[in-house]
Amino acid sequence: MPLNPVRAKRLAHAADWPWSSVRARLAGRNDALVDVKPLLERVPSFTDFLDIVSDPALEARLRAGWRIGRPLMDENRLRELECQLNRPVMPRKRGRKPRAEQDTGQRELV
């Protein structure tokens, strides 16, 4: 399955998809919704970028990360990101926390 959603719809040209930003990017000009500069600074040839054949294994990893909302990075980079964000990013142990760690919010009546 291609990363390009237009190809998934089997259109002849990416610019044929009416809701696509491709027309603006191919023309190299902003439109009412798209600022083309950020992507075009990273991708020297947008036409060549559209023709990239996807790697099924990488695509599966990207989709899995997207579904669970986790970045696709190695363990060292995830730890660095946790430090930068000061919040957990690494997958944690699944399931309920042990009772000692649970905050039930209930108080004993005295």
Does residue 78 contact residue 90 with C-beta atoms inside 8 Å? Answer: yes
Residue 68 sits at φ, ψ, to 5 deg, of -95, 0
> For the whole model, what pTM was predicted?
0.44
User: What pLDDT is stored for residue 1 in this prediction?
Assistant: 44
| 98 has a pLDDT exceeding 90 | no
| pLDDT, tens only, 17-76 | 777 788 888 888 898 888 999 988 998 888 888 777 778 888 888 888 888 877 788 889
Question: Any residues with CB less than 8 A from the CB of 63 and at least 6 apart, and which?
Answer: none
Q: What are the extents of the domains in the chain? A: 5-85
